[in-house]
Amino acid sequence: MAVARLLHSGCGALRQPSQFRLWGERRWLGDRWFEPERLRLRPRFPLGCWDGNDAPPRSSRANAISGDGTAIVGWSDRTTGFRQGAQWVDGAWRWLSSDYGPVGEALGVNASGSMIVGYNCGPLGQWAWSWTAENGVQCINGPVPEPYQTYMSAVSDDGSVIGGAVRPEFGPATEAVLWLYFEPVDLQQYLLANGVSEVQSWTLSWVSAVSADGSVVAGTGIGPDLRIHGFVVYLPLDSLHELQQAARSTRPN
């Protein structure tokens, strides 16, 4: 029997069914209907929260999960409809906030679950944010001094390489960003400065994935044909080590 862990928001009494069923999609295969096997699931955690009246439970979504599956991050609705960053660790739920108040949804988490990243932090929600147990939620800006919004969406195991994007002004256009030991760089400008001339005719829009050791990042951009394409960038490890040493030498004692 499959077991489902259902994530909930924390408000009021909990509404929890004893069991329920899920059916897969019924599909036409050309000569017959495919009827998927029915799955009977027994939830280990509540479906949602209930305030005692007929209002529906608040919504939530999981965006990322740690390597061992114990830490899940995403968002949970406030009563205002704001999607606040949320964390579920071994089934225990909590919202995430900074000194400025509630932050937006969590987009990524590292393998151990010790670092979470997301967006919508600061007085205008213009910065990205990272969370650790030691420092809590910290607002972090990107390469644009006064952006409309900044996003952190993926992080390496040790937190040294973080990928995301910046939206310089209101509108759909974004620019891919890397934080190398928390120093932000425009990915396209970084690659051009390091001799990768092939990206000259591209618009790199977002870094959505970072490998465990931080040496490979991937994302989306607009190619020379003006279509959206994925991209992969291999960062030299020796350069990352040099950046690490430089970052360590400038840290206050």
Average pLDDT over residues 68-86: 89
Tokens of 102: 């509630």
Residue found under tokens 């990206």? 199
Of the candidates 180, 155, 179, 150, which has an alpha carbon nearest to the alpha carbon of residue 165?
150
* Mean per-residue pLDDT of the chain: 79
pLDDT, position 243: 60
Q: Which residue has the higher pLDDT, 28 or 83?
A: 83
Q: At 70, is the pLDDT very low, low, confident or very high (cuts 50, 70, 90)?
A: confident
pLDDT band at 68 (very low <50, low <70, confident <90, very high): confident
Distance between CA atoms of 34 and 209, rounded to whole angstroms? Answer: 35
Output the pTM of the full model. 0.75
pLDDT of residue 76: 87
Residue 6 has pLDDT above 50, yes or no: no
Q: How much of the chain, in percent, has pLDDT values that exceed 70?
A: 70
Q: What is the pLDDT of residue 42?
A: 35
**Cross-strand bridge partners of residue 28:** 33
What is the token pair recorded at 121?
């932090």
User: Which strands, in side-by-side order, build the sheet including 3-4?
Assistant: 3-4, 39-43, 20-22
pLDDT for 184: 94
What's the pLDDT at 57?
52
Two structure tokens written together for 105? 């949804």
Q: How many CA atoms lie within 13 A of 28 on its CB side?
A: 2
Mean pLDDT of 36-61: 45
Q: Return the ∠ at Cα 177 (arms to 221 and 100), rounded to 5°.
A: 125
Q: What is the pLDDT of residue 32?
A: 52
Cβ of 170: how many Cβ atoms within 10 Å? 8
pLDDT exceeds 80 at position 23: no
Q: In this predicted model, which residue has the larger pLDDT, 227 or 236?
A: 227
- H helices present in the chain, as ranges: 187-193, 237-250
pLDDT at 51 over 90: no
Confidence (pLDDT) at 234: 92
| Residue that is written with structure tokens 């390091």 in the block | 194
**Section 6-19 average pLDDT:** 42
pLDDT in tens, 116-168: 999 999 999 999 999 999 999 999 999 999 999 999 999 999 999 999 999 99
Confidence band of 239 (pLDDT split at 50, 70, 90)? low
